[in-house]
Amino acid sequence: MNVFDSHDFDHHEEVAFFDDKATGMRAIIAVHSTALGPACGGTRMYPYATTDAALTDVLRLSRGMSYKNAIADLPLGGGKAVLLGNPATDKSEARFAAFARTVNALGGRYITAMDVGVVPADMPVIARYTKHVAGYDQPGKAGGDSGPATALGVFAGLKSAVKHRFATDTTKGMRVAIQGLGKVGMGVAKRLHAEGAKLIVADTNMAAVKEAVETLGAIAATPDQIVTCDCDVLSPNALGAILNDQSIPRLHAKVVAGGANNQLARDHHGAMLRDANVLYAPDYVINGGGIIRVAAQIENWSDAEVERRVLAIADTLTAIFQRADRDGEATSVIADRMAEERIARGKTSAKAAE
């Protein structure tokens, strides 16, 4: 596939293909925008069936990072890397060293972090060969665990959505269905329980479900039941594409606010939620706590500054909800528009400084 002919090419500033014969390392790095700062986004290692599939993924993900970083008001642009290979069998220090050299080849225009297939143990290996890396525990820097910051942002954003939809400052007494009880989902569940919400939970990890039932008084549901169960708020914190043609007409929740990525199966599902009178907190806005934590390592922000920025996710969502009401648009459309406006302002400022 020609990059320029790809449906997912969005005037990316740079798309670089790398092949290291000696190690077998093959990678694609896509820099979507540096209007607001160096492009930042994780590296995904995955056994793609074809190079075209890898290209499609890196183009989509890098564009998404531009929007995510812009809407979080970070001094970062959007980029992403994909390593072609099976993370269970194809990892080696030599391959990570070769990958780090590809990052260096971009001269600081791209800063990498973790994504699917690249775990905390891999990051120090990559960091031996490049300084353009963040998002993991590093000596002398703020912690790299993004889970707590993401959970705090999701909780704050959920409360912002509840306030807009139900005109109340508390979730006390509300039925909140939580899909996924990993670091983020369990963190959100604990905060909601402390405020008095009634929890319904589901996860494929039954030990996590048992913990929520025993310590948080949650009601257990199956993964198939949770999305359309009887609740006031649905908080997806696991799978993507759960909001689709089949599920949206069956939703009982009046608010959807959770940390899972790519919750809308297709763009038009944002409008379907609006038409169904369901308030949707756009996923890349509400789950921005993780990239804020990454930015803190790059910018050397204090924990207090991280918390301030994470809590500001609620204000950003309120602005999105209000503008969506005013313009009669889906919240997903408004979030994209606001991100695009911030990126455009960054480009204008950069040109003025030349």
Tell me the catalytic residues.
80
Q: Is 180 exposed, middle or buried (0-12, 13-18, 19+ CB in 10 A)?
A: buried
**193, 167 in Cβ contact below 8 A?**
no
Q: How many residues in the chain?
A: 354
Phi-psi region of 24 (alpha: psi -120 to 50; beta: other; left: phi over 0): left
* CA 79 – CA 14 distance, rounded (Å): 9
Q: How far is CA 226 from CA 199, 205, 246, 247, 266, in A?
A: 11, 14, 14, 11, 20
Q: 102 in helix, strand or coil?
A: helix
* CA 125 – CA 185 distance, rounded (Å): 29
Indicate the helix (H) or strand (E) that contains 196: none
Structure tokens at 123: 């990051």
- Cα dihedral value 21, 27, 33, 36, nearest 10: -90
Structure tokens at 27: 């990678």
Half-sphere exposure for 99 (CA within 13 Å, toward CB): 34
* CA 29 – CA 27 distance, rounded (Å): 7
